[in-house]
Chain A
């Protein structure tokens, strides 16, 4: 005979887990000074309310639109130029770091000799270092080294993205079928020729789509980097925020949304056409 049982057999462990999580997070709440109430205070609410009510209508006078166009073009140019410089560093670095072009690996069933691994390690380490420091930190450093403006943004993107692209390219080279390149190298061809005829045809589509995806990320990054003074749309957003010009902030956020959506569509088109 079945009896109705309203008891939850897993209640005790769940309760314990919840208590444990709260005990762990309690110092976190202290550390992060979390206070949701601050959003409900009347003075910060009126402040916020005034700021948000200024969002409509977005600023659209002629001078401002011209400034906006300039900033948007600058953002696009920073992302594109940064990617171009990143490729200059990433392609050679990935060729050096990848095991796919190892001569010793060709005759040792894909495992390079110890010396080869030792010599590749510094390049891999450099790539790890380049991409592990966030791009906005690079931007902040370059703003101090080369001055305010787009040059800092271009250099920051070039450095971080060469680390990312170099690593991913090297992995893509290794993930494809190694036999054509090994056959070429064992038959006496040079490494670059083995790369161009043995590996590149198999991986070109993947390389391209990853590069286009990164370009899209670079646009988003270049907007964000403007906040530390690296030019483009972000710098204008920062300036307008500081002047409490909410109408300008609204129209720049709208432009940013359009830019991101447009980049998304363009990268889809490029990937569809070229791969």
Chain B
């Protein structure tokens, strides 16, 4: 019986794959035919001579810095709002606030960054400001939830000891809870920052600044040489962040 159900599931997956190709009316033969491959080849060829002139490289450097700034500030804002929302979400101020803030965090997290960016471009206009806000909103949802879980799992005794000695709740939180929690919060923030650098480089496709906007504009103007330099810059940024995070993880987590 178990075997039969598994077999049915496997057949179902196969049917789903075939149905998907059928539904999309994808003609792989035509996509792989000589003419369309040649067309793609000539298109790809235009990317092979990246524009390395000084003025363009300077513009790219500015775009990369803008991307980094967007991601850093977005993460920072998200960390501040995340901890503000995590306190009620961890049940510190009673259950009505707990469920309300959890609902808010889930909503913020569920909508992808790019959709937030499209909404923020409507609200705040084109430019990196919209991208920063979009990253901040989505990341608030993610970090708020992670922070709330960390808050729930942290030992309450130090804070209780300070309360019993007559310290006020704010002091108890700052000196009893936060020191235990800080390394974990920092680790979560760095992890999200890493994600956000990658995300920030593509948010520009909806007009939210950074490298993405440069790529979108130069592709729309059919300046493939410039576009390929932007893609190279994105690649370097992503690889750099990857190796940096791998290195720092080895360095700090093993120690």
CB-CB under 8 A from A154, the residues of chain B are: 24, 26
Contact of A25 with B110 in the complex, beta carbons under 8 Å = no
CA distance A220 to B109 in the complex (A): 13
Contact of A144 with B219 in the complex, beta carbons under 8 Å = yes
CA distance A132 to B197 in the complex (A): 13
Tell me the minimal C-beta distance from B27 to chain A in angstroms: 9
Q: Does B154 contact A (CB under 8 A)?
A: no
CB-CB under 8 A from A150, the residues of chain B are: 24, 26
Tell me the minimal C-beta distance from B66 to chain A in angstroms: 5
Identify which of A39, A78, A128, A146 contacts B123 (C-beta below 8 A).
Answer: A39
Q: Does B235 contact A (CB under 8 A)?
A: yes
Given A32-B129, A154-B26, A270-B9: A81 in contact with B215 (beta carbons within 8 A): no
* Chain B interface residue bracket vs A: 35 or more
Chain A window 191-229, contacts with chain B (Cβ cutoff 8 Å), 1 for yes, 0 for no = 000000000000000000000000000001001100110
Tell me the minimal C-beta distance from B83 to chain A in angstroms: 15
Identify which of B69, B110, B242 contacts A31 (C-beta below 8 A).
Answer: B69
Chain B window 33-70, contacts with chain A (Cβ cutoff 8 Å), 1 for yes, 0 for no = 00010011001100000000000000000100110111
Chain B window 201-217, contacts with chain A (Cβ cutoff 8 Å), 1 for yes, 0 for no = 11001100100000110
Contact of B235 with A133 in the complex, beta carbons under 8 Å = yes
Contact of A32 with B132 in the complex, beta carbons under 8 Å = yes
User: Total interface residues on A, using CB and 8 Å?
Assistant: 57
Binds A, one of B12-20, B85-93, B143-151: B12-20
Choose among B44, B125, B202, B234 the residue with the greatest number of A CB atoms under 10 Å from its CB: B202
Tell me the minimal C-beta distance from B116 to chain A in angstroms: 11
Q: Which of A115-129 contact B (CB under 8 A)?
A: 128-129
Identify which of B44, B69, B72, B239 contacts A132 (C-beta below 8 A).
Answer: B239
Contact of B24 with A81 in the complex, beta carbons under 8 Å = yes
Contact of B21 with A81 in the complex, beta carbons under 8 Å = yes
Q: Does B82 contact A (CB under 8 A)?
A: no
Chain B window 66-104, contacts with chain A (Cβ cutoff 8 Å), 1 for yes, 0 for no = 101110110010000000000000000000000000000
CB-CB under 8 A from B239, the residues of chain A are: 128, 132
Contact of A77 with B132 in the complex, beta carbons under 8 Å = no
CA distance A38 to B130 in the complex (A): 10
CB-CB under 8 A from B72, the residues of chain A are: 25, 28
Identify which of B24, B68, B209 contacts A151 (C-beta below 8 A).
Answer: B24
Given A77-B19, A273-B5: A32 in contact with B69 (beta carbons within 8 A): yes
Choose among B39, B123, B216, B235 the residue with the greatest number of A CB atoms under 10 Å from its CB: B123
Tell me the minimal C-beta distance from A252 to chain B in angstroms: 10
Tell me the minimal C-beta distance from B73 to chain A in angstroms: 5
Q: Does B158 contact A (CB under 8 A)?
A: no
Q: Does B156 contact A (CB under 8 A)?
A: no
CA distance A273 to B110 in the complex (A): 27
Contact of A223 with B39 in the complex, beta carbons under 8 Å = no
Contact of B112 with A220 in the complex, beta carbons under 8 Å = yes
Q: Which of A237-275 contact B (CB under 8 A)?
A: 237-238, 241, 244, 253, 256-257, 260, 270, 273-274
Contact of A238 with B118 in the complex, beta carbons under 8 Å = yes
CB-CB under 8 A from A238, the residues of chain B are: 118, 206
Contact of B17 with A81 in the complex, beta carbons under 8 Å = yes
CB-CB under 8 A from B66, the residues of chain A are: 31-32
Contact of B123 with A253 in the complex, beta carbons under 8 Å = no
Contact of B20 with A84 in the complex, beta carbons under 8 Å = yes
CA distance A237 to B127 in the complex (A): 20
Contact of A77 with B23 in the complex, beta carbons under 8 Å = yes
CB-CB under 8 A from A128, the residues of chain B are: 239
Q: Does A94 contact B (CB under 8 A)?
A: no
Chain A window 27-43, contacts with chain B (Cβ cutoff 8 Å), 1 for yes, 0 for no = 11101111110110000
Task: Pick 5 A–B contacts, CB within 8 A, sort by A.
Answer: A28-B69, A51-B122, A129-B235, A151-B24, A238-B206
Q: Give the A-binding residues of B (Cβ under 8 A).
A: 5-6, 9-10, 16-17, 19-21, 23-24, 26, 31, 36, 39-40, 43-44, 62, 65-66, 68-70, 72-73, 76, 110-112, 114-115, 118-119, 122-125, 127-129, 131-133, 198, 201-202, 205-206, 209, 215-216, 219, 231, 234-235, 238-239, 242
10 smallest CB-CB distances across A and B, nearest first, come from A28-B69, A77-B20, A31-B69, A80-B20, A32-B69, A81-B20, A32-B128, A77-B23, A38-B124, A33-B129
Extra contacts, 8 of them, besides A84-B20, A140-B216, A220-B112 (Cβ < 8 A), are A31-B65, A77-B19, A81-B24, A128-B239, A137-B231, A227-B115, A227-B205, A273-B6
